[in-house]
A and B are shown apart, each in its own frame.
Chain A
């Protein structure tokens, strides 16, 4: 079993909808949680970075961390076709581990 689990999708939504992405993890030592966006044939780029539990908002993006449930989420409001990409979660602490990525398609 992977230490960070992520549904591979694909997740298809209409333009303007809210995209909801989730990861679960098993290592209690993880303290830092990141979300990256990866376009085809490009490297991952950081979207959100959170430490411990709580919410963080940046424009259309909101990241949530629930350490009691070992559950992290990313929400994208007012989704655009340009949001179509693969989204990777990462957890770090005594080690660092990525989820397998969720492919998202936002249809015009």
Chain B
């Protein structure tokens, strides 16, 4: 069972470059999420999509854009990467819409370094 698949697993960018992080889930979940995880900060929500065709900002959306391509796929784009965006990025999905009736299933993350 694949669950939530994230690509790439690792990436190094230069300041100002752009990049799209890909996420796909095979559990037929409605809701999908993007987080960043930094030491001592826990998981912080960047954007989420309660259902296909909708997206909403989370706690730390600045510098990011998202696209819910279809029910399976939810991508995160950095238009002009900054060193402050060096982090580990996690995608997650859950069965019902929005915040209700968690829990979430996570991918194994994308480790992104911006020089």
A interface list, Cβ under 8 A from B: 6, 8, 32, 34, 36, 41-46, 49, 88, 90, 92-96, 98-101
Query: Does the CB pair B109–A96 fall under 8 Å?
Result: no
Residue B53 lies at the interface, judged by CB distance under 8 Å to chain A: no
Which residue, of A8, A43, A92, A93, has the highest number of chain B Cβ atoms within 10 A?
Answer: A43
What residues of B have a CB within 8 angstroms of the CB of A34 in the complex?
102-104
B interface list, Cβ under 8 A from A: 4, 40-45, 90, 92, 99-109
If the complex has contacts A43-B107, A43-B109, are A96 and B4 also in contact, measured as CB distance less than 8 A? Answer: no
**What separation, in Å, do the CA atoms of A94 and B102 have in the docked complex?**
12
Give, as a whole number of angstroms, the nearest-CB distance from A52 to chain B.
13
Query: Does the CB pair B42–A100 fall under 8 Å?
Result: yes
Query: Does the CB pair A46–B103 fall under 8 Å?
Result: yes
Query: Does the CB pair A100–B41 fall under 8 Å?
Result: yes
Query: Does the CB pair B102–A44 fall under 8 Å?
Result: no
Give, as a whole number of angstroms, the nearest-CB distance from B15 to chain A.
25
What residues of B have a CB within 8 angstroms of the CB of A93 in the complex?
99
| Contact for A88 among B43, B105, B107, B109, CB less than 8 A | B43
**What separation, in Å, do the CA atoms of A95 and B101 have in the docked complex?**
12
What residues of A have a CB within 8 angstroms of the CB of B42 in the complex?
6, 88, 98-101
Query: Does the CB pair A100–B40 fall under 8 Å?
Result: yes
What residues of B have a CB within 8 angstroms of the CB of A90 in the complex?
102-104
By Cβ-Cβ distance, the 8 closest A-B pairs, closest first, are: A43-B106, A100-B42, A98-B43, A43-B108, A98-B42, A46-B103, A34-B103, A92-B102
Query: Does the CB pair A32–B40 fall under 8 Å?
Result: no
List 8 additional A-B contacts (Cβ < 8 Å) besides A8-B40, A32-B102, A41-B108. Answer: A34-B103, A43-B107, A44-B90, A45-B106, A46-B104, A88-B43, A92-B99, A98-B44
